[in-house]
Structures are given as structure tokens and as C-alpha cells.
Amino acid sequence: MLRSRILATAVVLAPTVALAAPSSQVQSLRRRIAALQFDHALGLSKQQAQAPLPLIEEARAKVGVNQSQRAVSEPVRAAALSRAVADLQATGTISDSRAEAIQSAREGSRSSLGPDLRSVWSEAKQICTADQLNALRSTRLGVGQGVVTGGRSGRMGPRRFAGRTMGVRTLLSDEFLSLVKARAS
């Protein structure tokens, strides 16, 4: 068990230069693509576009509060991980107390938004017709491996519609909100 904990921590703490996060411009373009795909798949009517606006705004406010809480706990997580690095450099292992501190810091930063976001996703789906939901299920959000082009629709396979997380993330994005507001007016 201690070996697996050490291995897991080493993987987490390993340099990730090759896995550097995409630039903010690339991230912005990816969000825009997903929002446009989401919007085109739904094809919301003006009335349908008006219905989710309060829901989206409320959920976005909750996400903002949660992000603020996570930012406050970041120094605690960083301190726990820094002490783990020091342990590894000094002794080659992470003490049980350090591992518990890392776990505690991780749990302190975990999101309590799960039920709220599931509720948002459920309410958003109720606004849609069966045809719109089927269009969503056959839409792949974003670009990359397995993207279907040429106007054809593809299936997601084992993860229906890019998973709930990608759908909620897109639903709550600035990019999708601006598209819905445009449709609603």
C-alpha cells in the first residue's frame, strides 16, 4: 500500500513539461467550438433559449463561489505537496502523516457542486425535445481524435455525449451563454 502511495505521489509530482496545458487562446477556441457544436445540435427555439437562462446564471454563480473556495484552499494543498516532495527527496518515501495531510487537503478542496450540477443538467434536458436530445447524444464535442466531419454524426461509444461533465461545462460556459442569449433575444 505504501509503495502504491509513493508511486501515485511520484506520478503526481513528476515534471509535466510534455503535458503542458494548452495556451489560453487554444482553450478559448476549444470552448467556442464545443459551444457552437452544442448550440447547433440543440437548435433551440427562441422560447427554449429563454427557459434555461436563469438556470444557467444560477449555476454559474454557484460555480464561481466554489472556485473561490478552491482558490482559498490552494495554499494548503501546495504546502502539503511541498512537504511530500521534501520527504521524498530526504528519505525516498512519504510518511503516513504527510499522505494523510495530502488527502485532507484534497478533500478540503473537493467540489460540493455535484448534486447542483446534476440538477442543472437534468433541468436543461427537460427543456429539449426527444429529437434534440438524440442530436446531442450523437454529437461529439470538441475536436481531436475520432471527430466526425463532413456533416455526419457519430456516436460517442461508451461515454454518451462526451460525458455529463463536458456537457455541463459547455452548458455553463461564457461561449454557450452568449449563443443562448442571442437566440433568446
- pLDDT tens digit sequence for 146-167: 344 444 444 433 334 445 566 7
What DSSP string describes the chain?
A: -HHHHHHHHHHHHS--GGGPPPPHHHHHHHHHHHHHHHHHHH---HHHHHTTHHHHHHHHHHHHHHHHHHHHHHHHHHHHHHHHHHHHHHHSS--HHHHHHHHHHHHHH--S-HHHHHHHHHHHHHHS-HHHHHHHHTPPPSSSTT---TT-----TTSGGGHHHHHHHHHTSHHHHHHHHHHH-
Determine the pLDDT at residue 152. Answer: 42
Helices and strands in the chain, H and E counts: 9, 0
Query: What is the DSSP code (8-state) at residue 185?
Result: -
- Give residues with Cβ within 8 angstroms of 54, minimum separation 6: none
The average pLDDT across 36-61 equals 88
CB atoms within 10 A of CB 152: 7
Cα 163 from chain centroid (whole Å) = 10
The average pLDDT across 21-42 equals 85
pLDDT digits (tens, 9 = 90+) for 83-115: 989 989 999 888 888 888 888 877 766 667 777
Closest CA to 168 of 129, 136, 130, 131: 136
pTM exceeding the 0.95 threshold for the entire prediction:
no
What DSSP string describes 62-94?
A: HHHHHHHHHHHHHHHHHHHHHHHHHHHHHHSS-
Averaged confidence pLDDT in the chain: 76
pLDDT digits (tens, 9 = 90+) for 60-78: 888 888 888 888 888 888 8
